[in-house]
């Protein structure tokens, strides 16, 4: 029988575009030549920033491409902790983000999950200006829950009333294989929240490419933090990714990943876990039947 | 006439292995499959760590591969600043390293350069246990000077007597095109110093791959700092680099880079700068005739 580990969100190896990405790396170097092997700006390869900005309908200057989305989280977290912000996070919260906040010495308030994710009622009355609400509203990690449209709007209203900042982490939103998509907080707020995403689940973790979309006034502060760590992210891998994204390979790959998850999902019970494995983890993932996708198969891998 | 900028150490575009690196990316994915597109450990792709460790004759567990060597510098600097260490650096010092130390709030003492680089006499009498001496002993940035064998030994003796830590940054040592190599401080100390290097100048900057070699007792502390920033470096690019290093492409590429520098060097005067350009920069680079290599051509690029 297959051994399934839920320790980390690793995509199944059969869902990784191995041959296609190798082709993209070659094609990118043919296309961009020395530029793809040189240093670049701290916010990432400009044509990739442009692609991301077009997906989200924002100015490319607001995009910072990072070495995986966790690096983007770490920069934003450091900025807000240095500014004295309190963090409100889900309980349970994505463990790596929480660990970074703890190491930064952040003041962290954990909010128990409601049935659809972050409990907006519980937040109400606690938030004040400058607080940061960090949330994964779609297929939350680790619970898999997805915040309803109504509660998304309530969260944004609450943040607007109090002057709190909403920091949306969305690594899984594009991997939905059941139910209708719910607009991101970023879209509902007309781009005024902080948005974090990743190509780890939609393309591959080993390319370590994620991105932040920031309000204009935060860009230079975060770029300063980038330059306190590295000169630029790996332009070569970003050029290869851009080729993957613009050569017609991305959308079919997304379908492959979604299909791969949908195929494995009948083997998972309603809590999202295999019925016979890892009973001690039960209850940590509990996506409803109508809200499935994102982090089911990619949080499984098999040794069989 | 060519416009030559000395603002940054960018390799000439004609010295970058564009086609070869694209081939390596494909070959690495054929060789390693899904492993090259997955997450990896915080210290980098194990087979690359193994290759680096064999080059330096150390245990692979002491190697941490980072997103460019500046990221490695930043981790080590953060660790020592948190431990309360004072830093002794060259004057002038590599500007990005100095900037990181300043932002970390480090106590920094700058030591004027002697004719062969770091002034060991000036250090004498100042060092105490726990201090860190950060130096680029070979083709120092920005001066191009190279510390003599005698002064390397004196520096190591001084550090041993006082209990100071020597932190050697060596991005250029393999690019010598004139004169005999001088052993690294790392070699002279039998691997007891901290060593930092990079594949930016020997392969390409856009792959953003550098590495630290640490004393055993520092490895876990630095890996903790890695995990406060990202899950792992980009395994894909490290797998491609490993293919470049092990497929017989690295050594010929080094020859190409050295030859490229040697070709441009007659156009530079003894101070390492073009005779007619950027007079305000004169004196910042002053490698002697017998100690040339490393950072001459790679600190030039041409608009012609």
DSSP states of B184-240 as a string? -HHHHTTT-SEEEEESTTTT-GGG-EEEEE--HHHHHHHHHHHHTT-S---HHHHHH
Quickly state the pLDDT bin for B165 (edges 50, 70, 90).
very high
Could you give the CA distance from residue B182 to residue B188 in angstroms, rounded to a whole number?
10
**Nearest 10 degrees: CA dihedral of B63, B64, B66, B69?**
-50
Name the minimum distance, in Å, from the CA of A74 to any CA of chain B. Answer: 6
B positions 196-235 inside 8 Å of A (CB):
200, 204-209, 227-235
Could you give the CA distance from residue A132 to residue A89 in angstroms, rounded to a whole number?
9
- Lookup result for tokens 């970074």: A100
Q: Do the Cβ atoms of B235 and A206 come within 8 Å?
A: yes
The pLDDT assigned to A288 comes to 56
Question: Is the Cβ of B91 closer than 8 Å to some Cβ of chain A?
Answer: no
Write the ipTM.
0.88
Neighbouring CB atoms inside 10 A of B207's CB total: 27
| Domain locations along chain A | 50-232
Mutate to test the interface with A, among B141, B206, B235 (most CBs of A within 10 A): B206
| Average pLDDT value over all residues in chain A | 88
- The pTM of this model reads 0.89
Quickly state the pLDDT bin for B261 (edges 50, 70, 90).
confident
Q: Do the Cβ atoms of A206 and B236 come within 8 Å?
A: yes
Question: Is the Cβ of A71 closer than 8 Å to some Cβ of chain B?
Answer: yes
- Closest residue of chain A to B301, computed from CA coordinates: A38
Whether the bond between A18 and the residue before it is cis, its omega within 30 degrees of 0, is no
Mean pLDDT on A188-206: 97
Distant-in-sequence, close-in-space partners of B255: CB < 8 Å, separation ≥ 6: none
Terminal CA-CA length for chain A: 7
Closest-CA residue to A112 (of A102, A123, A124): A123
Question: For residue A51, what are its two tokens?
Answer: 């692609």
Could you give the CA distance from residue A57 to residue A60 in angstroms, rounded to a whole number?
9
Backbone angles phi, psi at A203, to 5 degrees: -125, -75
Quickly state the pLDDT bin for A9 (edges 50, 70, 90).
confident
**CA separation (Å) from B141 to B91, B94, B221?**
10, 5, 28
For residue B48, give the 3-state DSSP assignment.
helix
Mutate to test the interface with B, among A234, A240, A241, A242 (most CBs of B within 10 A): A234
Question: Is the Cβ of B37 closer than 8 Å to some Cβ of chain A?
Answer: yes
For residue A147, give the 3-state DSSP assignment.
coil
Could you give the CA distance from residue A70 to residue A169 in angstroms, rounded to a whole number?
10
Rg (C-alpha) for chain A, rounded Å, is: 19
- Lookup result for tokens 């349970």: A92
Quickly state the pLDDT bin for B99 (edges 50, 70, 90).
very high
The pLDDT assigned to B8 comes to 64
The pLDDT assigned to A36 comes to 97
**CA separation (Å) from B90 to B119, B123, B202?**
8, 10, 24
Instruction: Decide: A176 and A184 in contact? Cβ < 8 Å.
Output: no
Q: What's CA B11's distance to the chain center, in Å?
A: 14
Instruction: Decide: A281 and A142 in contact? Cβ < 8 Å.
Output: no
**CA separation (Å) from B161 to A92, B5, B82, B125?**
51, 42, 23, 11
Q: Which fold has domain A50-232?
A: 3.40.640
Instruction: Decide: A222 and A64 in contact? Cβ < 8 Å.
Output: yes
Neighbouring CB atoms inside 10 A of B220's CB total: 9
Q: Do the Cβ atoms of A33 and B13 come within 8 Å?
A: yes
Mean pLDDT on A115-119: 97
pLDDT tens for residues A49-88? 999 999 999 999 999 999 999 999 999 999 999 999 999 9
Question: Is the Cβ of A242 closer than 8 Å to some Cβ of chain B?
Answer: no
* CA count, 13 A, side-chain hemisphere, A302: 12
Quickly state the pLDDT bin for A292 (edges 50, 70, 90).
low
Using H for helix, E for strand and C for coil, what is the string for B103-172?
HCCCEEEEEEEECCEECHHHHCCCCCCCCEEEECCCCCCCCCCCCCHHHHHHHHHHHHHHCCEEEEECCC
Closest-CA residue to B171 (of B197, B203, B142, B139): B197
Question: For residue B144, what are its two tokens?
Answer: 């191009």
Question: Is the Cβ of A34 closer than 8 Å to some Cβ of chain B?
Answer: yes
Closest Cβ opposite residue A29 in set B18, B68, B233: B18
Quickly state the pLDDT bin for A6 (edges 50, 70, 90).
low
Quickly state the pLDDT bin for A261 (edges 50, 70, 90).
confident
Closest-CA residue to B155 (of B133, B126, B130): B133
Question: Is the Cβ of B256 closer than 8 Å to some Cβ of chain A?
Answer: no
> Taking 90 as the threshold, does the pLDDT of residue A280 lie above it?
no
The pLDDT assigned to A11 comes to 85
Sign, Cα dihedral of A207, A90, A166, A251: positive
Neighbouring CB atoms inside 10 A of A107's CB total: 12
- The architecture of the domain spanning B21-246 is 3-Layer(aba) Sandwich (3.40)
Could you give the CA distance from residue A165 to residue A128 in angstroms, rounded to a whole number?
10
């Amino acid at each position: 029988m297959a051994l399934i580990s839920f320790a980390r969100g690793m995509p199944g190896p059969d869902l990784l575009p191995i041959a296609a990405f190798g082709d993209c790396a070659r094609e990118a170097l043919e296309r961009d030549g020395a530029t793809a092997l040189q240093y670049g700006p701290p916010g990432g390869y400009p044509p990739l920033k442009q692609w991301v900005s077009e997906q989200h309908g924002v100015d490319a200057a607001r995009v910072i491409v990072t070495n995986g989305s966790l690096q983007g989280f770490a920069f934003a977290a450091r900025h807000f902790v240095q500014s004295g912000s309190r963090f409100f996070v889900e309980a349970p919260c994505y463990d790596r983000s929480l660990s970074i906040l703890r190491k930064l010495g952040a003041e962290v308030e954990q909010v128990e999950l409601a049935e659809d994710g972050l409990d907006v009622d519980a937040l109400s009355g606690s938030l004040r200006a400058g607080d940061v609400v960090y949330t994964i509203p779609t297929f939350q990690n680790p619970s898999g829950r997805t915040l309803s449209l109504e509660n998304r709007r309530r969260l944004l209203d609450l943040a607007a009333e109090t002057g709190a900042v909403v920091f949306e982490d969305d690594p899984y939103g594009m991997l939905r294989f059941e139910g209708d998509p719910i607009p991101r907080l970023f879209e509902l707020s007309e781009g005024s929240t902080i948005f974090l995403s990743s190509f780890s689940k939609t393309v591959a973790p080993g390319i370590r490419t994620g991105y932040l979309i920031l309000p204009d006034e935060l860009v230079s502060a975060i770029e300063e933090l980038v330059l306190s760590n590295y000169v630029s992210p790996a332009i070569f891998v970003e050029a290869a990714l851009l080729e993957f994204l613009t050569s017609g390979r991305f959308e079919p790959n997304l379908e492959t990943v979604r299909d791969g998850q949908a195929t494995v999902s009948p083997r998972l019970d309603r809590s999202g876990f295999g019925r016979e494995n890892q009973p001690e983890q039960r209850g940590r993932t509990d996506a409803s039947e109508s809200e499935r996708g994102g982090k089911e198969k990619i949080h499984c891998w098999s040794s069989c």
